Amino acid sequence: MNIGRFHRQRRRIEQRFPAGSKRRQAMAHLVREARAAMVVVSGHAVGWRLPGGAMSCTKRRYPNATAAYSDLDRIASTSAAGRVPVRAYPCEFCGGWHTTAQGRKRVFIHSKDVSMRNHGP
Ligand SMILES: [Zn+2]
């Protein structure tokens, strides 16, 4: 099974069974049929990897940053209070983009590096 077919089957299952044991059964069947392996990072299921190496993430996949941010804006403007996505990021697994409600991780710059850049020879 190729990744496109896996994506389509997944979408069909998710539309047909909003949640619950029926969805879990259907997903288990699909995963068996595709011989996919669940990928878990830091205790979270990120998606399924097919034998060929292609990845199907649990999160909605956008083809590029523009698509991800335009959907993020749409969600932010239509959602009431609650957890809404605040940024988009490129995915290292599927090569697409996802949105997240988590803020950007802090990036620390050593003061030594900054002074070298500012006052170097
Ligand atoms: Zn992904």
Environment class of 102 (CB within 10 Å of its CB; exposed 0-12, middle 13-18, buried 19+): exposed
Distance 14 CA to ligand 1 centre (A): 17
- For ligand 1, an ion, list residues with CB under 5 A: 57, 91, 93-94
pLDDT tens by residue, 15-70: 999 889 999 999 999 999 999 999 998 898 899 999 999 999 999 999 999 999 99
The answer to whether residues 117 and 111 touch, using CB atoms and an 8 Å cutoff, is no
Distance 90 CA to ligand 1 centre (A): 8
- pLDDT at residue 115 greater than cutoff 70: no
Determine the Cα–Cα distance for residues 50 and 88; give it in Å rounded to an integer. Answer: 25
pLDDT tens by residue, 89-110: 999 999 999 999 887 655 554 4
- Which pLDDT belongs to residue 114? 45
Which pTM value belongs to this model? Answer: 0.73
- Which pLDDT belongs to residue 9? 95
The full set of domain ranges for the chain reads 1-58, 59-121
